[in-house]
Amino acid sequence: MSGRDDSDGRRGSAGSGFRRFIFKFPGMRKQLGGMALSFSLLELLEAYDEACVALDNFRRDGNSLADEYETVCAELEADIAREAAR
């Protein structure tokens, strides 16, 4: 068992999702960087990170789920942008 609690892992995953999102959509950096991130936005960023990791793995392995995860990532990107606009 690790010494960190689950919330630290989630924050790390959300931070990774944030970096992935900003790398893909640099125009959103100012909008997202200057706001306090809501719980729902953190959850979306965490899910985005996990979906991106899965997509990368599926692509590398030639798994047929890659197409489905491309859609999942695109839907999460739209959800993150919509949540950030609130």
Distance from C-alpha of 20 to C-alpha of 52, rounded to nearest angstrom: 8
Cα–Cα distance, 38 to 44 (Å, whole number): 10
Per-residue pLDDT of 40-86, as tens digits, reads 999 999 999 999 999 999 999 999 999 999 999 999 999 999 988 88
Q: What is the pTM of this model?
A: 0.83
For position 49, what pLDDT does the model report?
A: 97
Specify whether the CB–CB gap between 52 and 20 falls below 8 A.
yes
Domain ranges of the chain: 6-84
